[in-house]
Amino acid sequence: MEQEFGRFLKELREQRGLTINQLASAAGISGSQISRIENGLRGIPKPATLRKIAEATGCSYEELMERAGYLQDLGAAEAEIVPEWATNKDKRDFRKMLEDDGELMFDGIPLDKEDKQRIKDVLTGLFWEAKQMNKRKKPKQE
């Protein structure tokens, strides 16, 4: 996945007529980081870094998130779990919650992919339950 995303980023940068240093400067990240991403030597960038790259290249943040693999898993999970009553704003809130830039750790040790997925599954259930409870508590406007 890292090499595939790296190739995509390099093509995007070249299409925009940017050098590595120009992209790095516009995005506020180091040129060596861009180079490592493009060469598949660094893992997939965090969502906050992807947002900076999106703004610097004019590419949509959602496309970068999808190309990086963040939204593919979310899309499949969301399709199965999203309640019928959820509005577009609810779905956007849900995505924002899951895109949080923080590293998930337990006792100072980063969690593996399976543990992260279990936590996301629990958070998903709690999120939709809280949203539904909040909708029930709001007084109806007449």
**pLDDT tens digit string along 4-45?**
899 999 999 999 999 999 999 999 999 999 999 999 888 888
Q: Give per-residue pLDDT as tens, 78-130.
A: 445 666 777 777 777 777 766 665 666 666 677 777 777 777 777 777 777 77
Contact 18, 63 (CB under 8 A): no
pLDDT of residue 14: 95
How far the first Cα of the chain sits from its last, in Å, is 52
Give helix 47-57 / helix 20-27 axis angle, nearest 10°: 110
Mean pLDDT of the chain: 78
Question: Using 50, 70 and 90 to split pLDDT, how confident is the model at 72?
Answer: low
What is the DSSP pairing of strand 105-106 with strand 109-110? Answer: antiparallel
**Which of 59, 31, 32, 42 lies closest to 6, judged by CA?**
42
List CB contacts of 61: < 8 A, sequence separation 6 or more.
Answer: 50, 51, 54, 55
Give the per-residue pLDDT at 104: 65
Which run of H or of E encompasses 55?
helix 47-57
Evaluated on CA atoms 31, 34, 39, 42, the torsion sign reads: positive
Nearest CA-CA partner of 85 in 50, 21, 42, 132: 132
Q: Residue 131: how many CA atoms within 13 Å on its side-chain side?
A: 20
